[in-house]
Amino acid sequence: MPNESNFDEIYDFLSTKFESEKEYLQAVREVLEDIVPIYNANEAYKQADIVRRLCLPERVIYFTVSWVNSEGTVEVNQAWRVQHNGVMGPYKGGLRFHPTVNLSVLKFLAFEQCFKNALTGLPMGGGKGGSDFNPKGRSDRDIMLFCQAFMRELQRHIGANTDIPAGDINVGAREIGYLYGEYRRLNNKFEGVLTGKGLEFGGSYVRTEATGFGLIYFTEAVCDANDTTLEGKRVVVSGAGNVALHAAKKAIQKGATVVTLSNSRGFLFCDEGFSESDIAWAIDAHTTSSNVLTDLESKGSGVWFSDKTPWHVKCDIALPCATQNELHEKDAKALLENGCSMVLEGANMPCSNNAQEVFIDSGITYVPGKASNAGGVALSGLEMSQNAQFSQHEADVLDNELQSIMKSIHARCLEEAKRSAGKDNYINYMKGANIAAFRRIADAMVAQGV
Ligand SMILES: NC(=O)C1=CN([C@@H]2O[C@H](COP(=O)(O)OP(=O)(O)OC[C@H]3O[C@@H](n4cnc5c(N)ncnc54)[C@H](O)[C@@H]3O)[C@@H](O)[C@H]2O)C=CC1
Ligand SMILES: O=C(O)CCC(=O)C(=O)O
């Protein structure tokens, strides 16, 4: 029996079942509007009830992490791994340690990850995980103890061909090292079960840089499609973590002027643009400093604005690279008023639905993170294949591969956006990304049966 569907029917079904999961519903809503017409036009998709099945995670693992900190006190944290969809390959996606982590946040991230991973063209399904543990201000030893306790639970659900976690907010090289060490000790296996590992134990060159660099390679492809370049463009970046700093570094190398960086406490403004050495310093310091941006100000670079976001700063390009829902409708309007003509997401879902509408209605270029920040997971895919071959490729080879993957993601999105463009010929990258990814996943789901 074919399952004809419409947006309201599916969205109502999900919002009744998961009423309190606002981030998950937001991410699903963003995709559903674009894919329901594609679904309804395809008998095989309808026969297999693809849309409803694709919106629901295949498996959600919940566990409690009880651990003893370095002072001997027992601490208890909540943790999850959402294995959303595995038709394209082993579940793949990062781990986030942050007090705001909950099931809704991880379900939205895992859902988006499936679309992102499909866009890379590599054989990876989508997943995401993490914990409400807050590593800020904790000793190195506490972080190690937490990571070990977390992995003692997680290890039974993952594996190099099953589910391969990586880093995300507050999970970088140090945490991946502790997690990997515990997995190896418990399983007596040296396998590519995590990506983002140290170069000495199966890590890949360019993985650390890949998300931020990939974002700039995608931006270059957009510029190219619009007969322009990054040279001389003013760029507003939010965030001051892995993605933001590597995006800033590559943008500067391409001749752009990066005028802001930010964190949850405010933003740093540098009218003449940060130098490459400012950013190199911040890349070294950001995991140990309690506020790398005020430290940068103390070194004479930029002016710090407490409790403010960077969206009212004049720019040509905005790159939100911090966290979800950091850019709202009023911020989108401020960016437009100040001449911004391109917004490309480095973070996952940083723009609210209303902000996205402002960009799209105004006709400026807006690219969702599932396309523009896919460089990180793409390089993770390359780390997995290096691990499977027990090999390690050179940095320049991997950087070239990253550039070519970002170009082909851009081409896939552009092709679908052109195909679905209205009379105004607006290139809707969000629609292009959603549809291009959906077709790949839906075809794989049909092929694998119900
Ligand atoms: N690390 C990776 O490879 C990838 C990360 N992402 C996404 O990029 C974003 C940033 O991740 P990373 O740079 O890896 O994390 P990170 O932990 O290195 O940096 C996060 C940055 O965001 C800032 N931040 C966090 N919450 C904030 C808030 N409420 N308001 C303003 N700033 C806030 C932090 O101060 C920090 O500067 C996240 O949305 C993540 O999901 C996406 C693709 C891959
Ligand atoms: O490298 C990975 O596996 C995941 C990266 C990630 O979490 C993301 O793309 O949001």
- Both 31 and 134 in one domain: the answer is no
Is residue 422 in a domain? no
Exactly one of 107, 128, 197, 370 is catalytic; name it: 128
Give the pLDDT confidence of 110-164 residue by residue, as tens digits: 999 999 999 999 999 999 999 999 999 999 999 999 999 999 999 999 999 999 9
- 233 noted as active-site residue: no
**Residue 109 CA, closest ligand 2 atom number:** 10
- Both 33 and 96 in one domain: the answer is no
- Determine if residue 422 is labeled as part of a ligand binding site: no
- Our answer on whether the CB atom of 168 is closer than 6 Å to any ligand 2 atom is yes
Q: What is the pLDDT of residue 107?
A: 98
- Both 220 and 143 in one domain: the answer is no
**Residue 207 CA, closest ligand 1 atom number:** 3
**Residue 372 scores a pLDDT above 60:** yes
Is residue 81 in a domain? yes
- Both 72 and 134 in one domain: the answer is yes
- Determine if residue 380 is labeled as part of a ligand binding site: yes
- Both 235 and 335 in one domain: the answer is yes
- Both 361 and 259 in one domain: the answer is yes
The CA 1 to ligand 1 mean position distance, Å, reads 44
Is residue 397 in a domain? no
Among 372, 406, 434, the domain boundary falls at: 372
Give the pLDDT confidence of 394-413 residue by residue, as tens digits: 999 999 999 999 999 999 99
Q: What letter represents residue 92's amino acid? A: K
* Proportion of the chain above pLDDT 70, given as a percent: 99
- Our answer on whether the CB atom of 348 is closer than 6 Å to any ligand 2 atom is yes
- Determine if residue 262 is labeled as part of a ligand binding site: no
Share the mean pLDDT of the chain: 97
**Residue 349 scores a pLDDT above 60:** yes
* Residue 79 β-bridge partners: 63, 131
* Residue 183, SS3 per DSSP: helix
* Proportion of the chain above pLDDT 90, given as a percent: 97
Residue 98's CATH number: 3.40.50.10860
Is residue 420 in a domain? no
Is residue 432 in a domain? no
Q: What is the pLDDT of residue 7?
A: 78
> Which residue puts its alpha carbon closest to atom 3 of ligand 2?
93
Q: What is the pLDDT of residue 128?
A: 98
ipTM of the complex in this document = 0.98
Ligand nearest to the CA of 293: 1
Q: What is the pLDDT of residue 32?
A: 95
- Both 50 and 78 in one domain: the answer is no
- Determine if residue 116 is labeled as part of a ligand binding site: yes
The CA 197 to ligand 2 mean position distance, Å, reads 13
- Our answer on whether the CB atom of 380 is closer than 6 Å to any ligand 2 atom is yes
Mean pLDDT of 361-378: 98
Q: What is the pLDDT of residue 2?
A: 58
**Residue 423 scores a pLDDT above 90:** no
Residue 8's pLDDT band, with cuts at 50, 70 and 90, is confident
> φ and ψ at 8, to 5 degrees?
-60, -40
**Residue 3 scores a pLDDT above 70:** no
Mean pLDDT of 90-116: 98
- Both 291 and 163 in one domain: the answer is no
Structural domain count, the chain: 3
- Both 87 and 163 in one domain: the answer is yes
- The DSSP-derived string for 7-48 is HHHHHHHHHHHTTT-HHHHHHHHHHHHHHHHHHHT-HHHHHT
| Maximum C-alpha span of the chain | 68
Is residue 85 in a domain? yes
Residue 9's pLDDT band, with cuts at 50, 70 and 90, is confident
User: Which domain range does residue 110 map to?
Assistant: 59-191
Mean pLDDT of 165-176: 97
The CA 122 to ligand 1 mean position distance, Å, reads 24
Residue 84 CA, chain-centre distance (Å), reads 15
Give the pLDDT confidence of 277-313 residue by residue, as tens digits: 999 999 999 988 999 999 999 999 999 999 999 999 9
Is residue 320 in a domain? yes
Q: What is the pLDDT of residue 6?
A: 76
- Both 143 and 235 in one domain: the answer is no
- Both 170 and 270 in one domain: the answer is no
The CA 355 to ligand 1 mean position distance, Å, reads 19
Q: What is the CA radius of gyration of the chain?
A: 21
Residue 277's CATH number: 3.40.50.720
**Residue 1 scores a pLDDT above 80:** no
- Determine if residue 290 is labeled as part of a ligand binding site: no
- Our answer on whether the CB atom of 21 is closer than 6 Å to any ligand 2 atom is no
Q: What is the pLDDT of residue 65?
A: 98
- Both 218 and 246 in one domain: the answer is yes
* Residue 62 β-bridge partners: 80
**Ligand 2 pocket check: which of 92, 162, 168 to mutate, most ligand atoms within 8 Å of Cβ?**
168
Q: How does DSSP classify residue 79?
A: E
Is residue 399 in a domain? no
**Residue 369 CA, closest ligand 1 atom number:** 42
pTM value is: 0.97
CA torsion through residues 295, 299, 300, 302, sign: negative
Query: Which residues' Cβ are closer than 6 Å to ligand 1?
Result: 167-170, 211, 239-244, 262-264, 321-323, 326, 346-348, 373, 376
